[in-house]
Chain A
Amino acid sequence: DQQVKQNSPSLSVQEGRISILNCDYTNSMFDYFLWYKKYPAEGPTFLISISSIKDKNEDGRFTVFLNKSAKHLSLHIVPSQPGDSAVYFCASGSNDYKLSFGAGTTVTVRA
């Protein structure tokens, strides 16, 4: 069963503009949420996280928003840069070790 869903398999954005990636989850026990970035032939790299006691977390150009009532989170990248072209995975967990991942969104930043 797919507990974490990323409904947009791809996103194309112009350099300098905002990228918005969305993620929905079904398990109300999830209390920790992460975004990973992955380049081809490499492993996922941790990007940013948020716990359920917050609704926003910011780190440089990356901001994650959490809407618990809607079981929805989003990642905003502002401004988008060519090096941001990658696959982005949303992941969620309810304990200290097991994560459920979405299928990923491929972001392409156009010059």
Chain B
Amino acid sequence: NAGVMQNPRHLVRRRGQEARLRCSPMKGHSHVYWYRQLPEEGLKFMVYLQKENIIDESGMPKERFSAEFPKEGPSILRIQQVVRGDSAAYFCASSPGGTRPGYTFGSGTRLTVV
């Protein structure tokens, strides 16, 4: 009964490259959430997706960031033309629906932009 799987665990990109972060939700979970944690800060909501639908992307930066959760396969968070300020830990969570009692997080992807 695997939990939320994120890969890669660590990702190093040069400025201007693209970063692709993957998230496979827990079995039976159809809701996926992405959060970002900058150094010394709490997690910040980025986007909420259901299969083939973006429900709320109010936390996504307006440019360079996109997310998808296709019918088949993992959810993908894509960051184009990365900059140093994108360096952070990106956490994915999943749930069968809603946050109550609390959704399950993956171990995160640590993105370093050099």
Residues of A at the B interface (CB closer than 8 Å) are 4, 6, 32, 34, 36, 41-46, 49, 51, 89, 91, 93, 96-104
A4-B42, A44-B43, A96-B98 are known; give 17 further A-B pairs, CB within 8 A: A6-B42, A32-B100, A36-B105, A44-B105, A45-B105, A46-B103, A89-B42, A91-B43, A96-B97, A97-B33, A97-B95, A99-B45, A99-B99, A101-B44, A102-B42, A103-B40, A104-B42
B56 interfacial by beta-carbon distance below 8 Å: yes
- Selected contact of A97 from candidates B6, B48, B104, B108, CB within 8 Å: B48
A49 touches B101 (CB 8 A): yes
Given contacts A43-B105, A44-B105, A97-B33, contact A32 B42 (CB under 8 A): no
A interface: dominant SS:
strand
Residues of B at the A interface (CB closer than 8 Å) are 4, 6, 31, 33, 35, 40-45, 48, 55-56, 91, 93, 95, 97-108
